Amino acid sequence: MKTKLSISFSVLCTTIWALLLATSCNMDEQVYDRLNASVYYQNEAAVKGAVAAIYGNAAMSYLEYFWYLQEFSADQIVWRVWNGGLWGYDEGEKTVLSTHTWTSESKIIRSTWETAWSTIGLCNTLISDLERLEPSSLNMTDTRMQAYIAEVRTLRAWAYYNCFELWGGAIPLYTSSEAGDIPGSADEDFQTGCQKVYDFICSELDASCPYLAAEDGSNATRNRMNQAVNRMIKMRMLLNAQVFVGTPHFDECAILAQDLIDGKYGTYRLASDYRDIYHVTNTSCPEVVMAFAMENGQLNAGWMRDMPFLAYTYSDYFDFSSTQSAWNCCCLAPSYDNSGTVNPTLGYSEGAVCFLDPPYNDRLGAVYERFSDKDIRKGNYTWQEGNYSGIFLRGLQKAQWGTGEVLKADADRDGMDLYYADQVGQFEGATTIGRTLEPVMSPRWGQTNSGVRLVRYPIYPESEGKDFQDIDDVEFRWAEVYYTLAECKLRAGDAAAAENLVLQVRERYFLNKADARNYGRFTAVDEAWMLDQWGQEFLCEGRRRRTDLRRFDKFTQGQWWFFGRATDDGFAYPAKRDRKYEWFPLPASALSVNLGLKQNPNY
């Protein structure tokens, strides 16, 4: 589970955050706005603890709300409510993401913005403190001190990158820890601001990389910013440069990705067994480049990858008891429309039409059916011989991984048999509120049995003595480098090289490696195929909007599931959405208190 730094998260987070908060207050003539750095930092252990506290803050800040905005707004994960919003609607807080109907007044936008800046502020404070300290006074060398500063600068660049993906050039750039005016947007002109933010992040990464540690196979750096992480953030910048600043950098991106694969920035390799990536001991997995350390009772955000999908009776299915409650509000975007007759055992309606087939012919969404039937991941989650297989839940649900008694549903199917259909709609046996089953319905009408569920990280049976909440949350893994290089090769016209790189990852999911070349309805190695491969490999890992859809111009211009086919309250969801939704708006609450912020275009 951990190579994490050993500190008391609660104490240090409170201490350092108090320093940050104090910089915004000057209520008297005499300044008491911060402790002298030399008083707080007595030795290297104090420095290490302060750095570790920022990781804890970063994990809690970005792993939840940023995941909402990046996944719910895309074509694979949906926030599902039922009876038009009778249950799970939360005043439309998350539904606006799945329907592309958010505004600057949306609560989810405000909440995400408010969680975004504490990590950057903590980084600014710590960098300022460390730069004023004399390393010898802490029994440290200059080299060690520079390594810590570079680590925090890289962590700050990662935090800025996350904000940049959402709000573009409208975000402020601020590196000072001193009290003063609240910074406004990077520039009054949005595109100029994008270039400034892009240049800042890249320059920070380039300047700090040489001072960082490189993973040598000892697993010492897998919970920390290291050289490979630094270069992968830069790689993401280059891969998405055309979206960010209007200029493609695919050639430069390909060179950097190849340098990574060649071992220039550390020792890594693809995992032969994909389950090692998500195991409770994943910091010993050679594919994991960086994971946020999790431990139930200390820092616990890893549950976000499973709990939103699962029913309240999940402990009976997994033979595991936990204080962490399930949400039962998320599912995969459905593969089938609502025609035909539901077969609970099959998990879909007999006679239903797949969205990948005529007359729909989608190439987005339809998550479950985009996976090959021979892919070992495509099956219900079960536990056998000390390990799990399958990452989905579909069809009739029974206790103990499908071997026991039939589980019962709740909410609008309270007390009825629980099954998951690869469809979203108002099915039989439900109390409907003014809406009967239609061929295609929006996420507002997803009955409790709607949608295939996902188990991204394993949930261990009680007998294993392992808690899924202790699994470190993987933020960077080696497969991303292969897929990035593959896309660059494809864009350069070398489809064969692109396919070869993808297959080096994909073959681990097939008992017969030759079956890895079966791409289902994707018959050509082209951009649609590449986008599909990104979606399968990184399903629910928080990057579908940012890494995939926008770069392929499918986020607002692509069609999946209910877009162009369903209505709510007289509003017809368009097949193509307004391009203003490419970026999220700054929240109205932020604009009202900071006049220097400039709203994103068209909002």
* 375 in a structural domain: yes
Report which residue type is found at 246. G
Please check the confidence at residue 406 and state whether its pLDDT lies above 90. Answer: yes
* 135 in a structural domain: no
Q: Out of 29-43, 332-346, 574-588, which region has the weakest mean confidence (pLDDT)? A: 29-43
- pLDDT confidence of residue 347: 77
- pLDDT confidence of residue 37: 67
* 383 in a structural domain: yes
Question: How many distinct structural domains can be found in the chain?
Answer: 1
* 415 in a structural domain: yes
* CA distance linking residue 22 with residue 33, whole number of Å: 5
Structural domain including 371 reads: 307-455
- pLDDT confidence of residue 433: 64
* CA distance linking residue 491 with residue 493, whole number of Å: 5
* 397 in a structural domain: yes
* CA distance linking residue 35 with residue 349, whole number of Å: 65
Rounded (10°) angle between helices 479-491 and 527-537: 170
Query: Is 310 or 543 the better-scoring residue by pLDDT?
Result: 310
The residues, any chain, with a CB within 8 Å of residue 192's CB and separated by 6 or more, are 169, 186
* 535 in a structural domain: no
CA dihedral 230, 236, 242, 243 (to 10 degrees): -110
* 47 in a structural domain: no
Q: Out of 10-14, 291-295, 306-310, which region has the weakest mean confidence (pLDDT)? A: 10-14
Its pTM stands at 0.93
Please check the confidence at residue 166 and state whether its pLDDT lies above 70. Answer: yes
- The Cβ of residue 180 has, within 10 Å, a number of other Cβ atoms equal to 10
Q: Return mean pLDDT, the chain.
A: 89
Query: Is 397 or 41 the better-scoring residue by pLDDT?
Result: 397
* 223 in a structural domain: no
Tell me the pLDDT tens digit for each residue of 64-119: 899 999 999 999 999 998 877 767 767 778 999 999 999 999 999 999 999 999 99
Tell me the pLDDT tens digit for each residue of 13-66: 433 333 333 333 232 333 334 556 667 788 999 999 999 999 999 988 888 899
* CA distance linking residue 276 with residue 282, whole number of Å: 6
